[in-house]
Amino acid sequence: MRVRIPNIPDYERGGRILKERFWIFPVFLPNLGCPHRCTFCDQHVVTGVPGKGPSVELLEALFRKVRFSGKNGDKRGLIRQIAFYGGNFTGISQEVQRRYLEWASEKVRDGLVHSIRFSTRPDALQEEELSFLGDYPIRTVEIGVQSMNDRVLETVHRGHTVETCEKAVNAVLSKGWEAGIQLMPGLPGETLKGFLEGVRIVTEWGIRYVRLYPAVVLKGTQMAKEYEMGWYQPLSIPEAIEWCALANDILEKSGIEVIRVGLPASEGLKSSIVAGPYHPAFGFLVQSYRFHERLWAGLESLPESAHTIRIRISSNDVPLVKGEQGKAWETLKKAFPHRILSYTTDPALERGKIVLENSEEFRVV
C-alpha cells in the first residue's frame, strides 16, 4: 500500500524562514548490502554495532521505548523520520528491504513519523531498485559519494566513478525525493585543490545537504596497512579543519546545508583509530575556525588608529570565540598585540553576527 508523504514546509519564527529540523530514529545496518570492502571501511566500528541487521521485533521494542520516553521529537516544527544508516540499503535483498520498509511505513500510516530516509551507494540505485522503492513513503536518500576524483575512488577500491555518483543523484531527484551526500576529505591521493573542486561540482547537482567525514585510519583496514607501510599519510587535525571549513563556506554559499562534520564520537571508534584527524568535538573546531576567520578579517580591515576594540556577539557564539579551552581567543589576541580586544554578548544579535566597535566606527562582519 502506497503511503502519502506529508508536504512539510520550512517553518517560520519571528518572520524568518528557518531550516527544517529533524528527529531521527536511526537503524544501523553496518556493511549490509555492500558488495566489497573499501580500503578505509570498518562500519562495525563506526556505527558501534555488530554486522547483523536488527530484527523488526527489536526495532519495534526500541521504537516504542523511544517514542514514549518523552524524547520523541514531538515538539512543534520537528520532522520525524526513520533512517536506515551504515550500510548499502538498496544493495540488500528486496525481501529484507521490504521487511524494514513495511515496518517503517506502518509508523508513517499511524502518524508517528513523517517519512523514511536511507543511505546507500551510488552504484546501487538502478531503475529496478528505484521502481521497487516507489511504493514506500521515502523522502530522503543519502549517497556515499566519498570523493569527486575518479583516481581517488579507484585507489580506495570504491567500485564506482564520479559519473555514477551524479547519475545516482539525478535518479533520486527524478523520483521527487531529496538527496544528500557524504564526502571524505583526505583520502589517499586527494589534494586540497582537487577536493574543493569536487565540492564546487556537487553544488550544481541539486542536493540538499552534505556530511563531511575526514578520512581516518582504522585498525584492520587496508588503509591501516598502507599507513604502516608509509604509503598513506592522513590529514592532521589542523589540515582537516581547514579543508572542512573551506568546504563549508562553498556549500553554504550555494544554499546547501552541512549537517555533520566529523565522525560521531564513540569509545569503540576512538580505540580503533590508528591515525588521522579524529576529535570528539571536530565539528565545533571547524565552526570555531570559520568564526575566527571572519573575525580575523574584520579586525585586519579596521584602521591602524583603532586600538581599543569591543567585539559584540550573540551569547550562543561565546564558545566559538573562545575555542577549545580558550585557545582560539588567546591566539587571536596574540595576533593583534597592538589592539586591546574584548568581547561582550548582545541579545539583539543573531547567532553568527559579529559587530566590531571602536571610538571611530563600528562594523558588522
- Parse the chain into domains and list their residue ranges: 12-280, 302-364
Statement: residue 156 has pLDDT above 70:
yes
Q: β-pairing, 12-13 with 16-17? A: antiparallel
- Residue written as grid cell 544554499: 255
Statement: residue 67 has pLDDT above 60:
yes
pTM: 0.86
pLDDT of residue 161: 95
pLDDT of residue 1: 32
- Shortest CA distance to 326 belongs to which of 270, 280, 288, 365? 288
In the sheet where 115-120 sits, what is the strand order? 21-28, 78-85, 115-120, 138-146, 178-183, 209-212, 257-261
Same fold, 12-280 and 302-364: no
Specify the fold of 12-280. Answer: TIM Barrel (3.20.20)
pLDDT of residue 113: 92
Cell of 149: 576524483
* CATH number attached to the domain at 302-364: 3.30.300
Statement: residue 92 has pLDDT above 80:
yes
Give per-residue pLDDT as tens, 312-342. 999 999 999 999 999 999 999 999 999 999 9
In whole angstroms, give the CA distance from residue 176 to residue 170. Answer: 10
Cα torsion angle, 354, 21, 134, 57, sign: positive
Cα 114 to Cα 139, 155, 261, distances in angstroms: 9, 39, 26
What residues contact 249, with CB distance under 8 A and at least 6 apart? Answer: 290
The region of weakest confidence among 118-122, 201-205, 283-287, 302-306 is 302-306
